[in-house]
Amino acid sequence: MTLRRLLLLAAAAVIATTLLVAPMPASAAPAVSPSAAAAAALTARGNQIVAAARAQRGKPYKYGSRGPTAFDCSGLTGFVYSKVKVNLPRTAQAQYAAARKIPGSVVRPGDLVFWVSGSHAYHVAVYAGAGRVWHAPKPGDRVKLAQIWNWKQVRFGRIPA
């Protein structure tokens, strides 16, 4: 018997076994733990925040602007968080004070990234994953996706739901 024929027979056996097994009743399905449900909700909210930030791509930086046609850094984060019904304070420093500080090892898309000098947050962005952020960088620039820079000054924060 050839290897190909053996593989086909094995695949047919798996399919037949799968079709013969009755579906599990909903009452017997394993329960989802509260922590797993909370993590799933946090992931869904984070994905919505990142999508809202991505939708602002290319809009110009304007100091003090909160959108929808132009943004400064904290205006962008406040605007995209409002899309998931979360109100953030106006400035990067106030958002930093409101955020629960988290280590970089647990940062998720949708969390906030702060650049801090001393105890002052001077820039804020939305974490997009893979070491990248959505942000409104500076005058003359536009909302864009960028790699995190100056890691020594970076702090992460999560806004409670």
Residue 63 is part of a domain; what is its CATH number?
Answer: 3.90.1720.10
Domain presence at residue 136: yes
What are the tens digits of pLDDT across the range 52-93? 999 999 999 999 999 999 999 999 999 999 999 999 999 999
Number of domains in the chain: 1
Q: Which structural domain, as residue segments, surrounds residue 121? A: 59-161
Domain presence at residue 144: yes
Q: What is the pTM of this model?
A: 0.78
What are the tens digits of pLDDT across the range 19-45? 333 444 444 455 557 788 888 888 999
Domain presence at residue 6: no
Which residues are catalytic, by number? Answer: 73, 123, 135
Q: What are the DSSP calls for 19-75, one per residue?
A: HHSPPPPGGGSPPPPHHHHHHHHHHHHHHHHHHHHHTTTTPBB-TT-BSSS-B-HHH
Angle at 83 between CA 90 and CA 117, to 5 degrees: 35
